[in-house]
Structure 1
Amino acid sequence: MENSQAVETGNYVLVDYTGKFEDGKVFETTVKERALEAGIYEEARKYTPLFFRANARQVIKGLDKGVVGMKEGEEKTLTIPPEEAYGEYRDYMVQDIPLARLEIETPPEAGEKITTPGGREVKVLASTGTHATLDFNHELAGKTLVMEVKLVSIIGVDGLDHMSGQNL
């Protein structure tokens, strides 16, 4: 049944999307066929629409605001600047850390990702016998993102009750 309702703040939605950089390179998608086309397919991953509450800060701000007003089946391309995505790239978030503080003995390779003792995954920019230069920025920080979005469904509270078996 065609639903002419538009997404409002607080609605629960299902969205298919493909995230690209400005040069067109795909970095993320919820659509298996697009992942295969872009060469980023992961067999272990489930390619299903993203579920979130519109304009409730559960996803990046540009996507959050971008779905408001969309109708089921509608497609839209959002150009999302860094401040509405993963923030600006911050030089102060690149730090030299002693290997002993990282609780590792062998210097990591540049380009490798390691997990800090605090549980954070970070990119290694360089290392010596005693220190590693780590980038604590999100990997998409400082980037403008182009999101191709399709609103699959607006899910009412009644639908959520049925899906979860619980009252909201």
Structure 2
Amino acid sequence: MTENSKADSEKTIESGDTISVDYVGELDDGTVFDTSVKEVAVEAGIYNEQREYEPLTFTVGAGQMIKGFDEGVVGMKVGEEKTLTIPPEDAYGEYSEELARKLPVEAVEFAPEVGMQLATDTGLRGTIIEVDEEGFVIDFNHMLAGKALTFKVTLVSITEA
């Protein structure tokens, strides 16, 4: 083993490093909602053939990831596996009833259906969660708002800042 590769294997993640990780994201009930591993996506029934399943690369501490993930990887070494349990406040925030709004059917030029995704002129995205004769409810919360998340993370590589 060369001195350089030994040093690389001893290196731990610090804020500012660019890293690549493989991950599996699960909800409290064990449902896999996202992963970088193709085999896991297929097994969980969430495989998307238009997606490339490869390690996720980001700069630690740059605000590219949810807070709990960003902070949770600090100190890891290449090849290390770690389980991060992230409460809603360090993930996508608490669920806010104020972000679910009832609108009249006349507000749109189509027949609203549960599950439809809509975007406002300001770029706000929401999902229709309820439809009745008078109108529909569009929820602008992130789909993972209010949920604790668990990520099984494996550090693939570190590029120092």
**Structures share a fold, TM > 0.5?**
yes
Q: 1:79 aligns with which of 82, 85, 100?
A: 85
Q: 1:116 aligns with which of 120, 124, 140?
A: 120
Is contact 1:107-1:130 (8 Å) kept? Answer: no
User: Gapped runs of 5+ residues in structure 2?
Assistant: none
Identity of aligned residues (%): 48
Query: 1:126 is matched with which residue?
Result: 130
Secondary structure of the 1:108 match is coil
Instruction: Note closer, same or farther for the CA distance 1:115–1:99 as it changes in structure 2 (3 Å cut).
Output: farther
- The alignment yields a C-alpha RMSD, in angstroms, of 1.7
Are 1:59 and 2:26 counterparts? Answer: no
The amino acid that maps onto 2:117 is: K
CA deviation after TM superposition for structure 1 residue 58, in Å:
0.9
Task: Write the distance in 2 (CA, Å) between the matches of 1:79 and 1:115.
Answer: 31
The amino acid that maps onto 1:43 is: E
Task: Write the distance in 2 (CA, Å) between the matches of 1:115 and 1:84.
Answer: 25
Are 1:28 and 2:41 counterparts? Answer: no
Is contact 1:107-1:132 (8 Å) kept? Answer: no
Secondary structure of the 1:117 match is coil
- Which runs of 4 or more aligned residues in structure 1 lie more than 6 Å from their structure 2 counterparts after TM superposition? none
Is contact 2:105-2:112 (8 Å) kept? Answer: no
Q: 1:155 aligns with which of 134, 155, 159?
A: 159
**Structure 1 residues 3-22: aligned runs within 5 Å:** 3-22=9-28
Q: What TM-score, normalized by structure 2, do the two folds share?
A: 0.88
Which range moves more in the overlay, 114-123 or 15-24?
114-123
Task: Write the distance in 1 (CA, Å) between the matches of 2:98 and 2:89.
Answer: 17
Q: What TM-score, normalized by structure 1, do the two folds share?
A: 0.85
CA deviation after TM superposition for structure 1 residue 130, in Å:
5.8
Is contact 2:16-2:160 (8 Å) kept? Answer: no
Secondary structure of the 2:11 match is coil
The amino acid that maps onto 2:142 is: H
Which range moves more in the overlay, 105-114 or 22-31?
105-114
Query: 1:161 is matched with which residue?
Result: none
Secondary structure of the 2:48 match is coil
Which range moves more in the overlay, 122-131 or 56-65?
122-131
Are 1:45 and 2:51 counterparts? Answer: yes
Secondary structure of the 2:30 match is coil
Which range moves more in the overlay, 90-99 or 24-33?
90-99
